[in-house]
């Protein structure tokens, strides 16, 4: 029998509607899962059982009266801790931050609350969100539920781990270079980085988005029906538009899909990852898609230039802190950020301009393609206490080549599980679509999900 904690959001809403299940029962089951597993997983911060139970009871009353607030009323959710929720401080992963309660919900959190979601907790992240890791100077070390000795990835580390562990069906993360898709790939879940501006966010920044992490494509689509609603606080948000998020049907026949196995810079591709992604492409080819190999579009200069730009950006934040607070930052991140002081203004501008080159090369690539497939990450696992798969602050972004390009080009990209290594680690397939074609990306992900065959059981701790 499937535990209530493992039911999808789509199933939960259906059962709330026919009154065969209550949000109170579900919230209790998820809280029991968290109580049992969280001492090992360490994915959450600011867990609020009393608030969750109260919100679930209110949702149960609304469903009983036939007046749910929205599509996810009564669905348990978690929210990454750098997304403001009223009354809860945002440490942004670092002990250097003063803990001041947020004055109001940020746009993505507000949309979930407005729709009646049961907010369980915030999820953990590394210092300033600048690691693909569960390592943090403020939070306990988050681990991957598939293997506690390995890393969940990041920076949406706690969100990825919570999704794989069944801490409810919807988890909200953020992504500026792969921070949703990388942990989604390493934790075996679905993680969508939408088009820039599709989900209003505060504060907005170049390439920065919020997005859902779930166990199924349908749950991601359900979350998007709520999260994509407009909010005037984001000056980079897209104009409101009606999108049929629940219509996930697509026939792959005739779709022109590029297969990008090499990205052009960074870590070498692990053969097991390459084999799984190639097999996924062949599955879509068998369904009628036209698969064609495409060349790498990232260069060493692009990746290093972005590193220069981000180091200077980080130093702008860190330099303002008193030394007593600066000393609390994770040493890896402090060393990386402080090196930004040695970058010249010209080097930083050139670094930023590399993001424009990424946009140009991505646009040229999609001139003749509907979608691109690639690995989500070049490797499938790395130690839990490492800051990144390379674990070297002088080489911080060797693993984000497959993901970061699409942040800078503002295109939607989703990671979905496409297999496992011999050791049992999940492998992520990335599906990238044309700018603004978020629904198309989810449709192709659903087409693959329907064809990939049975998945391994979710981990049990």
Q: Please give the positions annotated as active site.
A: 80, 155, 179
Closest C-alpha among 110, 116, 136 to residue 52? 116
**What is the Cα–Cα distance from 204 to 441, expressed in whole angstroms?**
23
> For the stretch 258-284, what's the b/e string if a residue is b when 16 or more beta carbons lie within 10 angstroms of its beta carbon?
bbbbbbbbbbebbebbbebbbebbebb
Q: Which residues pair with 214 in a beta bridge?
A: 190
What tokens were used for 383? 């130690």
Burial of 153 (0-12, 13-18, 19+ CB in 10 A): buried
Q: How far is CA 222 from CA 167, 187, 213, 218, 427, in A?
A: 17, 20, 11, 6, 24
Cis (ω within 30 of 0) for the bond into 461?
no
Distance CA 391, CA 389 (A): 6
Asked if 392 and 383 count as a contact pair (C-beta separation under 8 A), the reply is no
Asked if 377 contacts 180 with a C-beta cutoff of 8 angstroms, the reply is no
The span from the CA of 62 to the CA of 98, in Å, is 38
| C-alpha–C-alpha distance, residues 174 and 160, integer Å | 11
From residue 300, how far is each of 2, 284, 297, 303, 461 by CA, in Å? Answer: 47, 31, 10, 5, 40
Cβ–Cβ < 8 Å for 113, 86? no
């Amino acid at each position: 029998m499937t535990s209530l904690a493992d039911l999808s959001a789509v199933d939960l809403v259906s059962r709330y509607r026919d009154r065969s299940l209550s949000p109170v029962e579900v919230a209790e089951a998820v809280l029991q899962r968290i109580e049992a597993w969280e001492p090992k997983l360490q994915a959450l911060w600011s867990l609020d059982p009393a608030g969750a139970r109260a919100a679930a009871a209110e949702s149960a009353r609304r469903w009983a009266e036939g007046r749910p607030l929205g599509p996810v009323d009564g669905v348990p959710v978690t929210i990454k801790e750098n997304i403001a929720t009223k009354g809860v401080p945002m440490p942004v992963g670092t002990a250097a931050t003063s803990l001041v309660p947020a004055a109001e919900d940020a746009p993505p959190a507000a949309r979930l609350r407005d729709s009646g979601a049961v907010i369980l907790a915030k999820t953990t992240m590394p210092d300033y969100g600048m690691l693909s890791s569960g390592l943090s100077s403020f939070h306990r070390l988050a681990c991957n539920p598939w293997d506690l000795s390995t890393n969940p990835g990041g920076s949406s580390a706690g969100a990825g781990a919570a999704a794989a562990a069944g801490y409810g069906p919807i988890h909200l993360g953020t992504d500026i270079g792969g921070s949703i898709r990388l942990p989604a790939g390493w934790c075996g879940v679905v993680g969508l980085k939408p088009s820039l501006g599709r989900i209003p966010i505060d504060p907005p920044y170049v390439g920065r988005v919020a997005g859902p992490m779930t166990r199924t494509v349908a749950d991601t689509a359900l979350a998007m029906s709520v999260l994509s609603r407009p909010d005037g606080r984001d000056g980079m948000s897209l104009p409101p538009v009606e999108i049929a998020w629940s219509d996930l049907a697509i026939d792959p026949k005739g779709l022109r899909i590029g297969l990008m196995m090499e990205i052009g810079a960074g870590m070498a591709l692990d053969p097991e990852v390459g084999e799984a992604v190639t097999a996924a492409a062949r599955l879509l080819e068998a369904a009628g898609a036209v698969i064609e190999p495409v060349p790498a579009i990232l260069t060493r200069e692009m990746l290093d230039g972005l590193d220069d730009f981000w180091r200077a950006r980080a130093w702008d934040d860190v330099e303002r802190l008193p030394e007593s607070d600066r000393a609390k930052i994770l040493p890896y991140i402090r060393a990386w950020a402080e090196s930004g002081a040695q970058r010249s203004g010209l080097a930083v501008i050139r670094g930023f301009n590399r993001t424009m080159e990424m946009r140009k090369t991505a646009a040229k690539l999609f001139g003749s393609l509907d979608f691109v497939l690639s690995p989500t990450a070049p490797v499938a696992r790395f130690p839990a206490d490492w800051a990144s798969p390379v674990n070297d602050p002088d080489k911080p972004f060797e693993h984000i080549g497959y993901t970061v390009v699409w942040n800078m080009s503002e295109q939607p990209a989703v990671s979905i599980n496409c297999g496992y290594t011999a050791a049992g680690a999940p492998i992520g397939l990335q599906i990238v679509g044309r700018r603004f074609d978020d629904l198309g990306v989810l449709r192709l992900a659903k087409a693959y999900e329907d064809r990939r065959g049975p998945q391994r059981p979710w981990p049990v701790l």
